[in-house]
Amino acid sequence: MPLEIFNQYESEVRGYIRSFPTLFAKSKMAEIWDVDGKRYIDFFAGAGALNYGHNNPKINAAVIEYLQNDGIGHALDMGTVAKRDFITSFVKNILKPRNLDYKLQFVGPTGTNAIETALKIARKVKGRKQVMSFTNGFHGMSMGSLSITGNSFYHDDSYGVPGYTTQVPFHNYLGDKVDTIAYLRKILGDDSSGTELPAAIVLETIQAEGGINVAGVDWLKSLREICYDFDILLVVDDIQVGNGRSGNFFSFERAGIQPDIVTLSKSIGGGHPMSLVLLKPELDKWSPGEHSGTFRGNNLAFVAATVALDTYWADDTFVKELQLKSQLVEKRMQDLAFRFADHIREIRGLGMIWGAEFKDPELISAICSQAFADGLVIETAGAADDVIKFLGPLIITEALINEGFDILESAVEKVLIRNRTQEGKEAAQ
């Protein structure tokens, strides 16, 4: 059995290998092949780390050339040519065209490092320990990130997760008739609400792991206002829905707001591990070396990231392509919801992240397994794992989007037929 060694030696904590039980061997852009040569279309993109695709040829060429020329691999936070080029490209292609002024802080290479850093600097600058986050938010697995992550699956009392956090209702958490912004303003302004003034409010503008919950533009604008009014820092966690996922580079651009702090990771490294915190210059109150980490700034990722930024973000061609692709994804999601209206409660999404919420979560795991057997890698989201989530690489072709959705539709059909047959058999017994 090809997976025996994992079963024997790898921790029980392994997760995705259970959903996708094969030995993957090769990948190119939006396709993956296993060791037997079976091909899969990728609607998962490494949980958002592969927006520019697997083994993107331009990125690979630059990384290979860098290695062949003995470019600096590891340098903590020393100055390197690769890092200089990344900063230059990020400022030129991302910050300047959007009129954004941020200092860049490189942190350890995973998203949770960026969140820990954001929490720390926000608390330090404001001199307050409380932080607010939202119901269904997901921010990572280290202790600070966990303290602002809702899903109880990841929590256990014994972890000693630090306190000083409050979770408040996200947009539409209580249905579209309840104004959660009004609630937030009320508790912040009321000395008797029992809510301490937070240093920061942390949010995903589109909750990804939480079930593809898209915050409305007006809601985001009002949240920005609240933060100004109460002198609270607004931290946008763009780790999953930044880097073009929402249809533009940052997910908050659609609301015309500027967060005080932004966390980026996943695809910022062009497929290589990298994590970054953007700070309004006046918040950069660190003293030299005060927040460190051995793997701050991964030079291979700098090389990959620079190519990604120069290739896809130097003008608006990519954004226009994304608009067309996201229209197609939305249309295919609508078709799915129409065809299986008895089973799908709602579809939600924006840009290149979409979800279909099913009434029966058990159906979903069967559908994902069937889709995988038929050559599609697709994942679930939501507190109850009741949402099927499209998160294909942004460079995926329209042909592959269509092929993937055809597989998904037929997987739903197969599972429903199987369930009906099973029910029929049980009724006959």
Ligand X SMILES: Cc1ncc(COP(=O)(O)O)c(C=O)c1O
Binding positions for ligand X, rule: CB under 6 A = 47, 110-112, 115, 138-140, 204, 208-209, 237, 239-240, 265
* Shortest spacing between CB 342 and ligand X, in angstroms: 31
Q: Which residues pair with 341 in a beta bridge?
A: none
Q: Strands of 353-358's sheet, edge to edge? A: 344-350, 353-358, 387-390, 379-381
- CB-wise, 66 or 170, nearer to ligand X? 170
Strand, coil or helix: 69: coil
- CB-wise, 94 or 115, nearer to ligand X? 115
Using Cβ positions, the residue closest to ligand X within the complex turns out to be: 111
* Shortest spacing between CB 263 and ligand X, in angstroms: 7
Contacts of 70 (CB under 8 A, 6+ apart): none
Helix and strand numbers, DSSP H then E, in the chain: 13, 17
- CB-wise, 368 or 407, nearer to ligand X? 368
C-alpha separations of 243 from 120, 170, 204, 330, 333 in Å: 24, 23, 13, 19, 22
- CB-wise, 188 or 247, nearer to ligand X? 247
* Phi, psi angles (nearest 5°) of residue 113: -60, -40
For strand 206-207 and strand 200-203, is the pairing parallel, antiparallel, or unpaired? unpaired
Cα(378)–Cα(388) distance, rounded to whole angstroms? 7
DSSP states along 270-305? TTS--EEEEE-GGG--PPTTSS--TTSS-HHHHHHH
Q: For residue 3, what is the DSSP state?
A: T
- CB-wise, 388 or 411, nearer to ligand X? 388
* Amino acid symbol at 193: S
* Shortest spacing between CB 46 and ligand X, in angstroms: 10
Give me the half-sphere count of Cα atoms (radius 13 Å) on the Cβ side of residue 222.
Answer: 14
- CB-wise, 242 or 404, nearer to ligand X? 242
- CB-wise, 266 or 343, nearer to ligand X? 266
* Shortest spacing between CB 1 and ligand X, in angstroms: 29
- CB-wise, 223 or 363, nearer to ligand X? 223
* Shortest spacing between CB 109 and ligand X, in angstroms: 8
* Phi, psi angles (nearest 5°) of residue 106: -85, 135
* Shortest spacing between CB 139 and ligand X, in angstroms: 5
Q: Which two tokens stand for residue 108?
A: 């350890």
Question: What is the Cα Rg of the chain in Å?
Answer: 22
CB-based burial of residue 173 (10 Å sphere; 0-12 exposed, 13-18 middle, 19+ buried)?
middle
- CB-wise, 308 or 415, nearer to ligand X? 308
* Shortest spacing between CB 209 and ligand X, in angstroms: 5
* Shortest spacing between CB 338 and ligand X, in angstroms: 29
CB-based burial of residue 129 (10 Å sphere; 0-12 exposed, 13-18 middle, 19+ buried)?
middle
* Shortest spacing between CB 113 and ligand X, in angstroms: 7
Contact present, 267 and 51 (Cβ < 8 Å): yes
